[in-house]
Amino acid sequence: MKQPLAFPASEQDDKELQDLVTFYNETLGFCPNSVKTMYHRPRIAYAFIEMNKAVMENKGRVTSALKRLIGYISSNAAGCRYCQAHTIRAAERYGAEQEQMDNIWEYKTHPAFSDAERAALDFALASSVIPNAVDDEIAENLRMHWNEGEIVEMLGVIALFGYLNRWNDSMGTEMEGGAIESGEKLLAKRGWEVGKHKY
């Protein structure tokens, strides 16, 4: 794309949104351009931020780091380079083990991952491909390791990134410097590149 469908809107004069944006300053170190683009219709930005906060809230054993790795697997399946960089950056910021980030695509066999984490990441991948590949085997394995509330948390992350993957790849959202830095540091050896998100 020669340019994004819409450029980030200015949110400088909206104190309510500025208060909500602090969530992203914690998770990413900056407010993503995707949210600033949503701000052309402020209610979409507000609703999205509240949904993001609800989904990423921890109520059980699904850690912040695991939620971001789930988001990464989901975004990779969808092909969204923008969200891949954001999720791996957030995983690092929330304490994901370096060995897990380095070997995320060997999660099925790599000793850095527990059986419970493998079940969660299998679910993330199967939930994110088209057509959907969640079947009885994946469901039964997931239920062996996680309770219903935890499964709901995971699917909340997967569904949230389904929205973001479509938003950012269709919008052609410009990737921020911090996200590019994380993508190049943590994903480039696997073939990641900025792609359509750099102008």
Domain for residue 35, yes or no?
no
Provide the CATH number for the domain around residue 120.
1.20.1290.10
pLDDT on residue 28: 93
pLDDT in tens, 76-113: 999 999 999 999 999 999 999 999 999 999 999 999 99
Residues 161, 167 contacting (CB under 8 angstroms): no
Domain for residue 78, yes or no?
yes
Q: What is the pTM of this model?
A: 0.95
At residue 29, what is the residue type?
A: G
Domain for residue 51, yes or no?
no
* 23-42 average pLDDT score: 90
DSSP one-letter code for 196: G
Domain with 180, as residue range(s), is 60-194
Among residues 14, 60, 59, the alpha carbon closest in space to that of 41 is found at: 14
Non-local (6+) Cβ contacts of 117 within 8 A are: 66, 69, 100, 107
pLDDT on residue 134: 98
Q: Which two tokens stand for residue 36?
A: 């600033």
Domain for residue 1, yes or no?
no
pLDDT in tens, 147-190: 999 999 999 999 999 999 999 999 999 999 999 999 999 999 98
Number of domain units in the chain = 1
Cα–Cα distance for residue pair 50/36, rounded to 1 Å: 15
